[in-house]
Structure 1
Amino acid sequence: MAPQPLPLADDAPVAVWSAVVNGNPVRAIIKSHDVLLDVIRDGIGSLGTKRGCDMGTCGCCTVMIDGKPRLSCLTLAMEAKNHQITTVEGLSDGHYLHPIQDMFAECGGSQCGFCTPGFLVASAALLDGNPSPTREEAMQAIEGNLCRCTGYQQIIDSIMSASKILSEGSQIQATTEPASDPHPNSRG
């Protein structure tokens, strides 16, 4: 039988934590061992960031810290203290979605939706730093994110379509028809 980890003491030291989350200054009292995911979800109530594996293998909890993607389940909140944090809720600009959000909807990049916030944040981090990535760069950007519902083609298509909008300044087509069928082999 493998040794079991000792539970963390309830009397862990507490600290005042502050950061700018989605453009808003935030302060919270946290325990020194709290991970960023817990502070985001439970401490400040930003529920878009999902709890998946709690081991850093699924990417559902991806956030940006100072513009770089990080797994919030593996990041101590104190590591992000006094930094800029962006969750999926912070990708939009007021009433306007980030192009990656629009293209996920347009290209069928979102299936059941649970993993979508992590994919959106990882993709936005790529596009914010490189608005014209290659398909290979897009695949590398999301390699830490898992989806059990798709073969990733629609996700890559979404990234490349958002890239076109960002790099060429093209407009999103005003249509209710998806650019591709997310379930091409189904009849119904």
Structure 2
Amino acid sequence: MEAEVVISGNVGADVEWRTDERYGARASFPVAATRRGLREGKWVDLDTTWYRVTCWRQLAMHVIESVKKGDAVLVNGRLRIDRWVDAHGMPRAEFAVDATWVAPDLRRGTARFVRARLRPEASGPAESEFEAARNDAEASCYADQAGANGAREGADERIDDPWAAHDPWGGDPDENGVIGEAEASGGSHEAGEAEEADEALEALAS
């Protein structure tokens, strides 16, 4: 079973980080969602449902830096039911969410947004295996993003440069600023017309 859901709850444990050969980065954490109900004129907590939330790639890197145990969060993603048999032979099941986005629940607190930027290479060795793995995942994700941004910027420069869009000579000048004969052939017709006009003027003058 899979469905698109938005859940509201509290993070039940610290975020777990893992590297993944295919996706580069993975972060997961449990979320407890507790229903509220009106009982004898008072709002009280009802049953609690637990979800295992999994984040991938760049979202995972932002989650490991932002989400802590006890935080009130909103999670959007695809809901499924994972089933397995434990070490004692008992069937188990849990709700799992592959997250599309994760956000703080601003109904229950405040937050400050910091826009993600391309990070420079680390200036020194990583302090732990975790940091080394995270740095490798970040380098992969941010390199892909930088390449895409560079391609878009290059396309914009070509569009903004009128000589890149239309070169009247059909070629580029050499280091002395001179266009080669083969490239300058486009101007031979105009030069011939100018010579004919000069000859006609000389004939009239004589």
Range class of TM-score, shorter chain:
under 0.3
TM-score calculated relative to the size of structure 1: 0.25
Where relative contact order (Cα < 8 A, 6+ residues apart) is larger, the structure is 1
Structure with a larger share of its residues in strand: 2
TM-score calculated relative to the size of structure 2: 0.23
Q: Which has the larger radius of gyration?
A: 2
